Amino acid sequence: MEAERNGLEVLILDEAHRIREKSVDRYARKELREKARAQVDELLDAARVPVFLLDQNQVVRPGEMGTPDEIRLAAEAKGLEVRQIDLTDQFRSGGSLAYIEWVERLLGLRDVEDGPQPWDGVDENFEVDVVDSPEELEARLQAYRNAGKGARMTAGYCWPWSDPRDDGSLVPDVTIGAWQRPWNLRGERSVGGAPPSPLWATDPAGFGQVGCVYTAQGFEYDWNGVILGPDLIWRQAADGGGGGWVVRRAESRDGELTKKSVTEGQFERLTRNTYKVLLTRGMVGTLIYSTDEETRAFLRSLMSGRRLVT
C-alpha cells in the first residue's frame, strides 16, 4: 500500500487469482484506509514489470478478483501494454494434463460441449478411483502412508468447525455415519498434537484431521483423498437422459460463501472451483468419496469398471 512507484524492476505475483478489491483490512491504519486504492492498481504501480501468475478456476472466495480481464482493464486504464501467455505444462497432479482436463470437464469448468468423461487410465503415471465409504478412504490412504507415501484427506466445507476443547482435544466435526474426524486447526500454533494450519499438509501428524480448501490450497501431497459433501451432488435427468450437478447452498457451512451479498451464480462457481482445488492436490493419485449415494454411483460409472489394487 505504501510501496514506491516503480520501486522494483520486476514483481512476480503468484496465486494472483486471489487479488482482492483492496488491500486494507480492519487492522490497517486510518490514514491507509482513507486513501485505499484498488489492490490491482497498487501492484501495477509497484514495479516496472509486474508478472501475474494465475488460474481463474482457483478463485474460491467472494472478493477475489484476479482474472485476466480485470488485470487487463486496470493496466490499459494506465496506458500499459499487456502480454498474456497461456501456460499449458504444469507440475501439479504429477504433471498429468489428462487428469487436470478430466477434473475440469467433470466440474463443468471447461468451455466444451461434452461434459464429464470416463477416466480410463489414459495417464499411466496418475491413478484415480472412487471409494464407497469414508472408512475405506482413510484405510487406503493409511496403507499408502505405510508404504512410505504422503497422504491427506480433504472435504468440502459442509460441517461446522469447532474450536479445540479446553483439554486441547479436537472436536470430530466431520461426521459421516459412524465415521468422525476433526477439521485441521485454524490457528498458528499446535494443539493436542495436531500441527498448526500452515503445516497441516506437510507435518505427518496432519493425517488425523480433514483439511479444508483454505488450508490445502497451494500444497501438494502424494495421495489425495477428497470428500464431496452434500453441497455438490449429481442428479440424472428425469427422462433418464444426461444429468448435471446440483449445488445446494443450504448445505454449506462456509460463512464467506453464504453471505447475502454472494449471488446464487457466484456461489455455484465458487463451489465448483473449491472442489477443483481439492481434487488437484495429489501428485500420485486421487481417491474420491461422495456423501451422496447417487453421486457416488455416477462417479463410479466414470471409472470404466476399473478398481485399483491397494
Q: Tell me: the pLDDT tens digits for 20-47?
A: 888 877 777 887 777 788 899 999 999 9
- The pLDDT value given to residue 310: 41
User: Residues 134, 289: contact at Cβ < 8 Å?
Assistant: yes
Q: Is the pLDDT of residue 4 over 90?
A: yes
User: Residues 289, 225: contact at Cβ < 8 Å?
Assistant: yes
Residue 171 pLDDT grade (very low, low, confident, very high; cuts 50, 70, 90)? very high
- The pLDDT value given to residue 50: 96
pLDDT, tens digit, 9 for 90 and up, residues 146-157: 999 999 999 999
User: Residues 294, 246: contact at Cβ < 8 Å?
Assistant: no
d(CA 88, CA 280): 15
User: Residues 208, 136: contact at Cβ < 8 Å?
Assistant: no
d(CA 35, CA 164): 39
Average pLDDT, the chain: 90
Q: Among 69, 98, 72, which residue's Cα sits nearest to residue 83?
A: 72
pTM beyond cutoff 0.85: no
The predicted model gives 81-101 an average pLDDT of 87
Beta pairing partners, 233 = 246
Which secondary structure element, helix H or strand E, spans residue 295, and what is its range? helix 293-301
d(CA 41, CA 88): 28
- The pLDDT value given to residue 240: 67
Count CA atoms closer than 13 A to 83's CA, side-chain side: 5
d(CA 291, CA 252): 14
Q: Is the pLDDT of residue 126 over 80?
A: yes
